[in-house]
């Protein structure tokens, strides 16, 4: 690329520069500062070292919290995928009316606040909630089950709250699958399951990966839902960071936790992307 081309491509991106400046000042710089503060050994900012990171690895509590948070992210992503995929198939196969209905249902939770949805799950899972009342009325359970403040309840609630993030990209990439490929597979004698695994799944990988990463990121950092549906018993990274920063006022440790949390998410995103990219050469990105 010649100097003239370089200049042309720079001039082309000129309208993006104000936002770029905003992001450098208020997004990149804060993360650099966060990294810097995590290198102080004490909350009084005296000496510099890696003590906070050693503390994270050895205090016997923090690594478990990180692990739980990542497992929660994986579980929510799996549940979302299981629900969103059939929904997208039914969407794509349906007529205009059904498509509008499904799109409305998918958008609905996005249009109501996450706190509202979390609150709904408290009503549904609570001691006098819908699930408990139904189970008692049907005589399936002898006494109200403890659904709030449990891992199962948290995974289901988070998955429902993040479902639109998964459904939209999956629907979009399923719309791009060339129908003649499906017809060809059908003509060659492939049943519906076989067409699903050999045609739809590989071709919708870009949307699936995009959705999975969004759900993973959103469910690991969903502070409100985690603290209200999970209760005080289930401690995850966001609550841990909040307690260290605001409760204990240990900024260097909170900063180190944030850096480790961020890097874990970035590493997983990078890993998933690079594995997926090998498998989806030639497929139009979502």
Among positions 183, 198, 271, 285, the unique one binding other proteins when judged by CB under 8 A: 183
Q: Which of residues 222-241 bind other proteins (CB under 8 A)?
A: 223-224, 227-228, 237-238, 241
Residues 52-81 close enough to bind other proteins by CB under 8 A: none
For the four alpha carbons of 90, 92, 95 and 96, in that order, the dihedral sign comes to positive
Closest CA to 80 of 155, 163, 151: 163
Q: Which stretch binds other proteins (CB under 8 A): 39-47, 51-59, 160-168, 276-284?
A: 160-168
Residue with tokens 């990274």: 237
Instruction: Among 58, 63, 112, 198, indicate the residue that binds other proteins (CB under 8 A).
Output: 112
Let me know: does 56 contact 260? Beta carbons within 8 Å: yes
Give the nearest distance from C-beta 204 to other proteins in angstroms: 12
CB 279 within 8 A of CB 85: no
Query: DSSP secondary structure string, 162-179?
Result: HHHHHHHHHHHHHHTS-H
Q: Which stretch binds other proteins (CB under 8 A): 48-56, 60-68, 136-144, 175-183?
A: 175-183
Number of residues that bind other proteins (CB under 8 A): 109
Span of 48-56, 57-65, 137-145, 187-195 interacting with other proteins by CB under 8 A: 187-195
Region binding other proteins by CB under 8 A among candidate stretches 8-16, 46-54, 56-64, 275-283: 8-16
Out of 51, 126, 205, 277, point to the residue binding other proteins (CB under 8 A). 126
């Amino acid at each position: 690329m010649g100097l003239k081309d370089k200049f042309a491509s720079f001039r082309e991106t000129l309208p993006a520069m104000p936002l770029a400046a905003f992001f450098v000042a208020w997004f990149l710089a804060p993360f650099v500062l966060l990294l810097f503060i995590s290198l102080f050994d004490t909350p009084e900012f005296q000496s510099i070292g890696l003590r906070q990171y050693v503390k994270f690895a050895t205090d016997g509590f923090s690594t478990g919290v990180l692990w739980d948070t990542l497992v929660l992210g994986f579980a929510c992503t799996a549940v979302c995928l299981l629900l969103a995929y059939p929904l997208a198939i039914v969407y794509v196969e349906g007529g205009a009316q059904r498509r509008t209905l499904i799109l409305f249902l998918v958008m609905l939770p996005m249009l109501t606040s996450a706190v509202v949805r979390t609150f709904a799950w408290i009503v549904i899972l609570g001691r006098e909630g819908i699930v408990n009342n139904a189970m008692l009325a049907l005589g399936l359970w002898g006494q109200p089950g403890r659904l709030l403040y449990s891992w199962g309840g948290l995974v289901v609630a988070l998955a429902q709250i993040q479902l639109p993030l998964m459904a939209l990209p999956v629907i979009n990439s399923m719309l791009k699958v060339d129908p003649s490929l499906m017809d060809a597979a059908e003509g060659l004698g492939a049943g519906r399951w076989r067409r699903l695994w050999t045609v739809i799944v590989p071709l919708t990988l870009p949307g699936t990966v995009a959705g999975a990463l969004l759900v993973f990121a959103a469910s690991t950092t969903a502070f409100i839902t985690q603290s209200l549906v999970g209760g005080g018993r289930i401690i995850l990274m966001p609550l841990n960071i909040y307690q260290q920063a605001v409760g204990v006022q240990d900024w260097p440790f909170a900063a180190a936790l944030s850096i480790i949390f961020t890097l874990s998410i970035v590493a997983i995103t990078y890993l998933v992307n690079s594995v997926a990219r090998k498998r989806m050469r030639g497929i139009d990105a979502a």
